[in-house]
Amino acid sequence: MDMASNQPDNLALTAEQLREYSAAFNADRANLVAANAAVSNGILQAATSYRGVRELPRTFSVELKQGSITSQEHSGRCWMFASLNTLRYELMHKWNLDDFEFSESYLFFYDKLEKSNFYLENVLKTLDKTTDSRIFEAVNEGPADDGGWWQMFVALVKKYGLVPKEAYPESSNSRDSSAFEQYLNTKLREFAAELRDAHQAGKSVEELRSLKTGQMSVVYRICAIAMGEPPASFDLLLRVKDDAKASESCTKSGIDSRRQIVEHGITPQEFYAKYVGKDLDDFVSLTNSPLASTPYYRRYQLAFVGNVAEAAPMDFINVPLDVFRKAAVDQLTAGHPIWFACDCAQFSLRKAGIFDRGTVRVDELFGTEFASDKAHGLEYNDSRSNHAMTLTGVNLDKAGEPDRWKVENSWGKDNGEDGYYVASDAWFDRYVTEIIIRREYLDDATRALLESEPVELDPWQPLTKRCRWYNLYGAKPWLGLQPRLSCSAVLILFHKNKCANDWGSVGGYFVMAFRRTTQRMQSACIAACPWNRQPVACENVGSALPERLRFRSHHPACQYAGHHLTVQPIRSASHARFA
């Protein structure tokens, strides 16, 4: 049977079609102008509408006074930063402080530890599933990855409390968690194989649990070596805001005479209870998922998802957009910030600090509408949540409806306007999927659902997605680069970019062309920076495929201009598949 005879006529692109496409493209002057702008400046710069920027001012009728902007640096701790930024606002105003920051590293240590235990427990629950089953692949996707949800934060705080940043400061492996996450995940998957092999060999449940206990001792050692052990207790010194008397005394003597709050040997749990004191069970996760598979006014739980094994399953209540928006406005106008999850890659300008479809006019640039709605974005995995931030303001129009939102990010002061972003109301409606609301700002119908029987969802169902947008540059510098073709005229090195894998949003690969002469690869090469496709120079290509390649970007538009990137290829002719 001739298989080719059964193929449709329009299966392949033909040379004639390409000529027609090219002729149509070149016949339209607008295409040529757009190409000049995009090729020279990049898509986002070329698509930026000055009118959109001007129509989105950074003034807000409701605005909360927050502390200094924080930075998660090269890590996927956005959800943790947003959670702590929400609570520090309450602490600062309760105790009359000018500024304050919790230790994000403290919770990060225990999150890695707890996620490791949670993963191994899930391995024990799925011993009879094959490794290529959908449920085990979901469990095994990222055993101790950085990302998470508000509910994971709550579980950690309830168990371990909180500490100020100075009690457990940042470390090299919290600032850039790449290697820590990589090797911890590798070890955990090795442990999973041990447990499954022991099960196949007939070991009892008690023997498997004993094996897991020993494995967790190794996990603790890895975490402690990577970050240092967290404190069991600490000393506290806080200074309250200036009052007139203290300010006058300070001016005369030069001594800071502000009133002090002092504690000696306070534990993290005692610190949380005394100085924060919020009942975290009063915070409720609302989602807006307009899918037929997740009807509104239902309570949902995600299976096999969490960090603290003994914590309650993660709850979400799915509500219509009008209820979702009203709850957010009510909580902000009452003077409380809001943790929220969104797809931060869509229609966003990182450096300018703008989230707005009316400003990022890729529709005008490409001459095509981007018309998918929120349901399609969730169903087709195009715009699920990937980043958590904090709402600290909203502007209400003359009808009392929100038209823009103030967003506190955790990408440092150099992004946005001193670290703050503005989101249009249309962007909020389309790309914000989850908000954390106090019970008192829920309407009666939503509050009643807290006692309803939850519907269990599989971990891959598109209600919401774990937030783990990695760093202020927009991509995690994961240095596991692998060539797709080796020892050929063209070497393609794929950049292991977790953002791209999970959401198809950032993307990243190096493409290098070498001129081969006999056994030598000449040092001249072309490479593209994976974060913005700008050119970088390959500095040390030698006589053969090297053990390491070193790049240096000199392009002014590249975020890594002036920095070296060292990558290690693996000789393989097969296509790379990243777990």
Q: Known catalytic residues?
A: 78, 387, 409
**CB contact at 8 A, 296 and 318:** yes
* 3-state DSSP assignment of residue 549: strand
Query: CA dihedral in degrees (395, 396, 402, 403; nearest 10)?
Result: -60
Spatial contact of 98 and 168, defined as CB atoms under 8 Å apart: no
d(CA 431, CA 421): 15
Residue 417: C-alpha distances to residues 140, 363, 381, 408 (Å): 39, 26, 30, 10
Cβ count near 281 (within 10 Å): 11
From the list 367, 389, 394, 504, the residue with the least C-alpha distance to 61 is: 394
Residues in CB range of 224: below 8 A, 6 or more apart: none
| 4 SS3 class | helix
* Biggest alpha carbon–alpha carbon distance for the chain: 99
534 within 8 A of 552, measured Cβ to Cβ = no
Query: Is 159 exposed, middle or buried (CB count within 10 Å of its CB: 0-12, 13-18, 19+)?
Result: middle
Enumerate residues 6+ apart whose C-beta is below 8 A from 475.
495, 497, 499, 500, 506, 508, 530, 531
In degrees and rounded to multiples of 5, residue 262 shows phi and psi of: -125, 135
Q: How many helices (H) and strands (E) does the chain have?
A: 19, 23
Positive or negative: CA dihedral 98, 104, 106, 110:
positive
449: number of Cβ within 10 Å: 18
Burial of 171 (C-beta count, 10 Å sphere; 0-12/13-18/19+): middle
Q: 546 near 457, Cβ under 8 Å?
A: no
Residue pair 477/529 in contact (Cβ under 8 Å)? The answer is: no
User: In sequence order, what are the beta bridge partners of 234?
Assistant: 266
Coil vs helix vs strand at 149: coil
Tokens representing residue 23 in the block: 């002729």
With the C-alpha atoms ordered 88, 94, 97, 98, is the resulting torsion angle positive or negative? positive
Nearest to 455 by CA among 279, 264, 256, 318: 318
CA distance 210 to 206: 6
Q: DSSP per residue over 392-428, as a string?
A: EEEEE-TTS-EEEEEEE-SB-TTTTBTTEEEEEHHHH
Sign (positive/negative) of CA torsion 298, 304, 307, 311?
positive
